[in-house]
Structure 1
Amino acid sequence: MKKSTVVLTCGVTLLTLGMLTACGGGDKKETAKSDVKVAKEGFPIVDKKLELSMFAPASGKGTFDKMPMMNDYAKKTDISFKYTTPPASDLSTKLNLAFASGDLPGVVYASGVTKPMEIQYGGSTLVALEKYIEDGYAPNLKKILDEFPNIRKSITTPDGHIYSLPFLGAKYNTEDTDFAQKANISKGSVWYNGQWLKKLGLSEPKTVDEFYDMLVKFRDNDPNGNGKKDEIPLTTSAADTDKLASLRPWIMNAFGISSQLQQVDDNGKVTVGATQENYRKYLEFMEKLYSEKLLDQEVFSQSDDQKKAKGAENRLGAYTDWFSYFTSGKAPDVSIEDPMAYPLSSEASPKAFMDVSDNITTGAFAVSDKCPSPEAAVRWVDYFYSNEGSKFLNAGPEEKDGGYWHWDTNDKGDKVQVFNKDVDPTKSEELRETITPDYGRVVPKVLAEAAIILKDKNDPIVKDAFSKFIDEQATEKIGPFEKVGWPTLYMSKKQQDELGSSLQADLLTYIQQMEAKFISGKEKLDDASWKEYNDKLNQIGVEKYAKVYQAAYDAWKK
């Protein structure tokens, strides 16, 4: 029997990171509720076809109405969408206008709704979602929230409600334990020149003193063997707005500092890292490295390309990058000789740790008061909080003719995923952009390990040498030392008002300006200058900043 179709004005809107999402469109008239019945498990989700509207950020080559992933999922769920997709460059403006006018679609998806938007519009324009989660319409997400209570805290606003659903990192995947426990390499990773370590007979340092001694030997013993004193023991590139952005966190951690701004200790006390005596010790150590030419003299000005050029000339002993071969210029399988650095300890911080993100990004999905069936919208998105659903979102459905991939059986009888015959594996990401919205967007899902799609069905399903090396290094040198220095949390409207629009920016600008001056020696670091520095921070409002964040943290903890 052919199913009837119910057409409803309920929109799914995709937005940029940090903004809210909602369901529905049109004027501020009350939206009629749908009479569809929503199943709490299995597919289809609804008992008769339901069309909702979706507001999503357009980008690249992909258009939502032609994406195989969206169309295949519509057949599976019996829920389809009418799309509104402003360009990413105009998305923020369009979203703000939609909120201000009340003309907001029913569902807002993958668009990074901001926390202030949730605070302002939660309970009016934005629908509270926790009751649908608890009532069984999000079994996958509920399993995660029950297993990881801090996620529930971090997506709950100060009024006690959940107005948006998050993107979650791999550690929160409850179905794939091995992958869930895998450590994630960070942008600030420090790498050592393995050839230099071997030539000089050095072990990888685990304390700042051992690290200093290693850098001295890099400087003085011609490890690149060219007869010139051109070695640069330690370097990083300088982001225009944040000097030492990659190197700073790693060395600050060695002195017990998680962040230049708010951090919380084991007793729940919030402090501003850049006011602490241990931060002064960090500055003194960095100034010592700089004055002794152990730290690159161009560190405050050089571009990433300039850093890479030095790496290609085999002049670098320790350096930052996502992967070592990005800087060294070596082939990936050769670069496994260059180890990732251990987190360091010091007298100021005897227990080494590595500050990491909690892998929670709020604002990826929301439902507005214009949505006729919030239950259906929540049930629709919940699939992507499963391992199966996350992989489906990432690669799309099997399509043998003209699609992206299909199942095949190799000569050993194993079932494998294989690129379709017309797919160029070297350009597969360009095609994937047309397959799924999970490309260049922060989408609501739990991160699953990406499926291995083979060019030939008999390709070995094994990781290359560098990938295995990275897994081993991250497991050994990041996993045991991970510490979340600051959780994802919301500020109340009152707390936002207390901070104002510029306090955080003003503090950070001054801190980083003075950091560069202290390290480079342009400003002598002594008792008098340290007092003057802290007095200036007090004038800017550092005590108020810490007090507001303490209140926000205490509310999150409860």
Structure 2
Amino acid sequence: MDWKKNAWLLSLLSALLLVLAACSDDSKETGSTDSGNDTTEESDNEENESNGEIHTYDFFDGSGPGEDINTSETTLGKMFEEETGVNFDIEHIVGDVNQKIGTMIASGEYPELLNAEQSTDAVIDAGGFIPLNDLLEEHAPNIMEMYGPYLEFMKRDDGNIYIIPSGASHGFVKPANLEQGGWWIKRDVLRELDYPQPETLDDYFDIIAEYTEANPQIDGANTIGFTALTHDWRFFALSNQPNHLAGYPNDGGIMVDTETLDVSVYGNKPETERWLEKLNEVNAAGLFDQEAFTQNYDEYLAKITSGRVVGFFDYRWQVGQALDTLYQDEDFYNDYMAFPVVFEEGIKDQYLDPVGFAASPGMGITTGTSEEDQVRIIKYLDHIAKEETQKLVTWGVEGETYEIEDDGRYYRTEEQIAETRNTEFRDEFGFSYFEWGWPRMNGLYPDGNAVEPPKQPEVATLMYDEGDKEFLEAYGIETFTELFSEPDERPWFPAWDTPIETGTPAQLYEQQLDDLMKRKYPEIIFADPGEFSTQWEAYLDEFEGLPYEEYEQVIQESVERKVEIAEKAAEAAE
């Protein structure tokens, strides 16, 4: 991002802070601990009210699978328990998250803290989350400061804030390694084919076809040319591609014209037809994974780590568990490299997210939680939002997981980098459980250090091992995101976080489209090429019966509202 963009962002943040400033016991007790110290007198007094008691609360995290654990079993969680007198029993999703949340809604029984993921709106509509406005104003100065520029975005139509999302942007920092979507190819494939650089969709699948033809088996098992993630709510990892291939960022199921702000769905557009026709062609060539529509999330990750998959599209944050495992493999050629593939030359890729704010999903306190426990939980979350705690969550402990130069710049040694990328260490320390999901900022700290260590130049330059350096040199780049274009400014980004009321035509469209895609995409992709047009028309006929215009209208209003807020902030800053 150039200096003008940085200036625009800083003006926006400053102005919003000024505008907002102008507007302005059922717990389980299990032991005792000493209270810690805080940076503010108010926080000191409030946190010391625990009287040495430990309060344990239930937290259901619907964002993904994981090991169920009490936060105090991690290094970070234990520190936070000692400082706040609170810990959480974390339960992760197993199976269908919508079904799990639906059961909670039907019974009216919730854990005290809940991340309902894509069912967030349903829980809000059912009255499952309490309004947080008063709690934030009275007990959460750190959250108010961190999310200050975005508080207006967090409010629902009734003016209430129900959830705290993870990720309040404070400046743009281009990552050294891809964190978002990309077209991944196994490094061994790239090496064998003399390091090709795919730019178009045809280029990408030509590489897969050439390698698979020459290597029909890998380690005695059939080679999988291209696999896809379609399980449960993660189906977007297959359905979002037309958007990306056409040069748009991850705004969800819609495209937004940057000039007119016009919103349109693309599930019925030529871009989607073009994408599905390509997959139909790929399948006919024997390159598409026949289990793509039946495998679950864990099976998908396991397949990637098996070494049999030549390529796939996905978001780094979603497939990170598999890629982290491969990174620790002694054979670095089993790892993958991502490329910013588009439909055709001349399209500017937009895989790197612009500065934006997703107001949903996030974590909220549920009804049925006593007032005393509400206060304890919000104070805990506020403790997480403190700058020094944020640095613990992202960088760790000085002298153990990072160092500080005399000029105040943070860095990691090669040994610390290796340790903090080790899955077992990350679990034990607590990075795996606290790094995302809780109140969290990204971008830059006030002292100029990057929030995320991999985005700190002093760390990025040391993160690359010999295998990384081989591929960086082969492609003539210094970082793996150098191949990706800088993101364009989009004040509404991301559009997919728009609150949609349960039972409305717009919400029905989302569910009906999901059902339609899961039913028809396999038929389209696995069809004989001669039947593609017939299958596409059958899908299109059903799509046209969906209330997509109502959905477009809801997103349109949200986009315009966000842009209006941004424009007012920019005007106030002048």
* TM-score between both structures, scaled by the size of structure 1: 0.62
| Cα contact 1:25–1:370 (8 A) shared by 2 | yes
Q: Which amino acid aligns with 1:342?
A: F
Match of 1:162 in 2: 161
Partner SS for 1:496: coil
1:341 counterpart = 2:309 = no
Match of 2:226 in 1: 235
| Cα contact 1:109–1:366 (8 A) shared by 2 | yes
Q: How many Å apart are 1:185 and its aligned residue?
A: 3.5
Match of 1:128 in 2: 133
Structure 2 matches for 1:120-519, cutoff 5 A? Answer: 121=127, 125-129=130-134, 132=137, 138-139=141-142, 141-146=144-149, 151-168=150-167, 172=169, 180-182=173-175, 185-186=178-179, 189-201=182-194, 203-218=196-211, 222=214, 234-237=225-228, 239-241=230-232, 246=237, 249-250=240-241, 253-256=244-247, 261-266=253-258, 267-296=260-289, 299-300=292-293, 317-319=310-312, 322=319, 332=329, 334-335=331-332, 340-347=337-344, 350-354=347-351, 360=358, 361-366=360-365, 371=371, 381-392=381-392, 428=425, 431-432=428-429, 438=433, 442-446=437-441, 448-449=451-452, 463=463, 465=465, 473-478=479-484, 480=486, 486-487=494-495, 489-491=497-499, 495-499=501-505, 502-519=508-525
The CA RMSD over aligned residues, in Å, is: 5.7
Q: How many Å apart are 1:275 and its aligned residue?
A: 0.9
Q: Deviations over 1:197-235 (max 9, x none)?
A: 444445311123433543454355x36899x9x866x31
Q: How many Å apart are 1:483 and its aligned residue?
A: 8.6
Partner SS for 2:70: coil
Work out which of the residue numbers 45, 56, 59 in structure 2 matches 1:57.
59
In 2, Cα distance between the equivalents of 1:217 and 1:84?
Answer: 51
Q: How many Å apart are 1:137 and its aligned residue?
A: 5.2
Q: Deviations over 1:389-448 (max 9, x none)?
A: 1243579889x9xxxx79999xxxx999999xxxxx985456446xx9945983223365
* TM-score between both structures, scaled by the size of structure 2: 0.60
Structure 1 194/463 Cα, relative in aligned 2: closer, same or farther at 3 Å? closer
Structure 1 366/183 Cα, relative in aligned 2: closer, same or farther at 3 Å? farther
| Cα contact 1:336–1:466 (8 A) shared by 2 | no
Q: How many Å apart are 1:278 and its aligned residue?
A: 1.7
| Cα contact 1:353–1:483 (8 A) shared by 2 | no
In 1, Cα distance between the equivalents of 2:289 and 2:529?
Answer: 18
| Cα contact 2:242–2:275 (8 A) shared by 1 | yes
Structure 1 473/525 Cα, relative in aligned 2: closer, same or farther at 3 Å? farther
Partner SS for 2:59: coil
Q: How many Å apart are 1:382 and its aligned residue?
A: 3.3
Q: How many Å apart are 1:254 and its aligned residue?
A: 1.4
Structure 1 111/199 Cα, relative in aligned 2: closer, same or farther at 3 Å? closer
In 2, Cα distance between the equivalents of 1:479 and 1:362?
Answer: 27
| Cα contact 1:235–1:299 (8 A) shared by 2 | no
Match of 2:551 in 1: 545
Runs of 5+ consecutive residues of structure 2 not aligned to the other structure: 1-24, 28-37, 61-66, 95-99, 405-409, 417-421, 443-450, 455-460, 473-477, 565-574
In 2, Cα distance between the equivalents of 1:195 and 1:437?
Answer: 29
Q: Which amino acid aligns with 1:476?
A: E
Partner SS for 1:536: helix
Structure 1 189/505 Cα, relative in aligned 2: closer, same or farther at 3 Å? same
How many corresponding residue pairs? 470
Q: Which amino acid aligns with 1:445?
A: R
| Cα contact 2:177–2:480 (8 A) shared by 1 | yes
| Cα contact 2:243–2:266 (8 A) shared by 1 | no
Partner SS for 1:544: helix
Partner SS for 2:49: strand
In 2, Cα distance between the equivalents of 1:366 and 1:515?
Answer: 38
In 1, Cα distance between the equivalents of 2:401 and 2:209?
Answer: 55
Match of 1:31 in 2: none
Match of 1:33 in 2: none
Partner SS for 2:339: coil
Runs of 5+ consecutive residues of structure 1 not aligned to the other structure: 1-23, 27-38, 420-424, 452-460
| Cα contact 1:193–1:338 (8 A) shared by 2 | yes
Of structures 1 and 2, the larger Rg is shown by 1
| Cα contact 1:112–1:364 (8 A) shared by 2 | yes
**Greater share of helix:** 2
Q: Which amino acid aligns with 2:511?
A: A
Structure 1 181/130 Cα, relative in aligned 2: closer, same or farther at 3 Å? farther
Q: How many Å apart are 1:489 and its aligned residue?
A: 3.5
| Cα contact 2:182–2:339 (8 A) shared by 1 | no
In 2, Cα distance between the equivalents of 1:216 and 1:98?
Answer: 51
Structure 2 matches for 1:4-83, cutoff 5 A? Answer: 41=40, 44-46=43-45, 49-51=48-50, 55-57=57-59, 60-62=68-70, 73=80, 80=85
In 2, Cα distance between the equivalents of 1:166 and 1:490?
Answer: 13
Structure 1 194/43 Cα, relative in aligned 2: closer, same or farther at 3 Å? same
Structure 1 287/161 Cα, relative in aligned 2: closer, same or farther at 3 Å? same
Q: How many Å apart are 1:274 and its aligned residue?
A: 0.8
| Cα contact 2:394–2:435 (8 A) shared by 1 | no
Bigger drift between 203-212 and 346-355 goes to: 346-355
Q: Which amino acid aligns with 1:279?
A: T
| Cα contact 1:250–1:343 (8 A) shared by 2 | no
Q: Deviations over 1:355-381 (max 9, x none)?
A: 759674544244989647999976653
| Cα contact 1:283–1:519 (8 A) shared by 2 | yes
Q: Deviations over 1:120-161 (max 9, x none)?
A: 659x9524259728xx95256525533xxxx43542212333
Q: Which amino acid aligns with 1:142?
A: E
Q: How many Å apart are 1:480 and its aligned residue?
A: 2.7
Match of 2:22 in 1: none
Structure 1 364/386 Cα, relative in aligned 2: closer, same or farther at 3 Å? same
Structure 1 367/393 Cα, relative in aligned 2: closer, same or farther at 3 Å? farther
Q: How many Å apart are 1:273 and its aligned residue?
A: 1.6
Structure 1 67/241 Cα, relative in aligned 2: closer, same or farther at 3 Å? closer
**What percent identity do the matched residue pairs reach?**
14
In 1, Cα distance between the equivalents of 2:47 and 2:239?
Answer: 56
